Amino acid sequence: MHLSEKNKKVLEQALESLKNRNYFSPFPENPKAYGEDADGLAKNWISQIMNNNYVALDGITASTPYIGEEVSPFLQVGIGVRYPVFSTNELIERGNAAQQTWSKVAIETRVELLMNSLDRISNRFFDIAYATMHTTGQSYMMSFQASGPHANDRALEAIAMGYQELTRYNTSVNWVKPMGKFDLTIEKNFNAIPLGLSLVIGCSTFPVWNTLPGLFASLVTGNAVIVKPHAKAVLPIAIVISELQTILKENNFDANTVQMAVDSIAVLITKELAEHTAIKQIDYTGNSAFGNYIESLNKVCFTEKAGVNSIILDSVKDLKAVAGNIAFSASLYSGQMCTAPQNIFIPATGITTPEGTVSYEQVVSAIKDAFNGLVQHPKAGPGTIGAIQADTTYKRVQEFAAQFPQALVASQHITNEEFKDARIASPLVVELTADNLAFNEECFGPIVFIIQTQNTAASLQLAYNLAKEKGALTCGAYTTDAQTMSQITEQMNSIFIPVSFNFNGAGFINSHAAFSDFHLTGGNKAGNASFTNAEFVNKRYVWVGNRYMN
Concatenating the DSSP letter of every residue in 157-171 gives HHHHHHHHHHTSS-S
pLDDT of residue 508: 94
Alpha helices (runs of H) in 431-511, residue ranges in sequence order: 456-470, 482-493
**118: Cβ contacts below 8 Å, ≥ 6 apart:** 27, 152, 155, 156, 159
pLDDT tens digits along 306-327: 999 999 999 999 999 999 999 9
Residue 550's pLDDT is 83
pLDDT, position 1: 79
Q: Which amino acid does the sequence have at 185?
A: T
Q: Write the DSSP symbol of residue 143.
A: H
Task: Quickly count: other Cβ atoms within 10 Å of residue 159's Cβ.
Answer: 27
CA distance 519 to 537: 14
Whether the CB-CB separation of 456 and 360 falls below 8 Å is answered with no
Q: How many helices (H) and strands (E) does the chain have?
A: 18, 18
Residue 10: per-residue pLDDT: 98
Tell me: the pLDDT tens digits for 338-389? 999 999 999 999 999 999 999 999 999 999 999 999 999 998 999 999 999 9
Amino acid sitting at position 475: C
**Dihedral sign computed on CA atoms, order 521, 526, 527, 528:** positive
Beta bridge partners of 366: none
> In this structure, are residues 307 and 317 in contact, taking their beta carbons and an 8 Å threshold?
no
Mean pLDDT of 468-480: 97
Beta bridge partners of 352: 315, 357
Q: How far apart are CA 229 and CA 16, in angstroms?
A: 33
Mean pLDDT rounded to a whole number for the chain: 97
Residues with Cβ within 8 Å of residue 270, at least 6 apart in sequence: 201, 228, 263, 290
Quick one: pLDDT at residue 97? Answer: 98
C-alpha to C-alpha distances, 124 to 129, 249, 477, nearest whole angstrom:
8, 18, 38
Which helix (H) or strand (E) segment is 404 a member of? none
For residue 57, CA distances in Å to 90, 126, 209, 415, 432 come to 14, 19, 20, 37, 51
SS3 label, residue 243: helix
Residue ranges of domains in the chain, CATH in brackets: 5-305+530-548 (3.40.605.10), 310-501 (3.40.309.10)
Query: How many other C-beta atoms lie within 10 A of the C-beta of residue 438?
Result: 14
Give the three-class secondary structure for 68: coil
413 pLDDT above the threshold of 90 = no
Burial class of residue 471, CB neighbours in 10 A (0-12, 13-18, 19+): buried
pLDDT of residue 61: 95
User: Buried (b) or exposed (e) across 2-41, using 16+ Cβ within 10 A?
Assistant: ebeeebeebbebbbebbeeeeebbbbeeebeebeeebbee
Cis peptide before 270 (omega within 30 of 0): no
CA distance 285 to 283: 7
Q: How much is the average pLDDT of 289-303?
A: 97
- Predicted TM-score (pTM) above 0.85: yes
> Of 226, 208, 209, 228, which Cα lies nearest the Cα of 218?
226
Give tens-digit pLDDT for 500-543: 999 999 999 999 999 999 999 999 999 999 999 999 999 999 99
Tens digits of per-residue pLDDT, 416-441?
Answer: 999 999 999 999 999 999 999 899 99
Distance between first and last Cα of the chain:
32
Does the structure show a pLDDT above 90 at 27? Answer: yes
Q: What is the pLDDT of residues 121-178, one digit of tens each?
A: 999 999 999 999 999 999 999 999 999 999 999 999 999 999 999 999 999 999 999 9
Q: How far is CA 65 from CA 53, 94, 161, in A?
A: 10, 17, 38
Give the DSSP per-residue string, 4-67.
PHHHHHHHHHHHHHHHH-----SS-SSGGGG-TTHHHHHHHHHHHHTTSB---STT--TT--EE
Rg (CA), the chain: 25
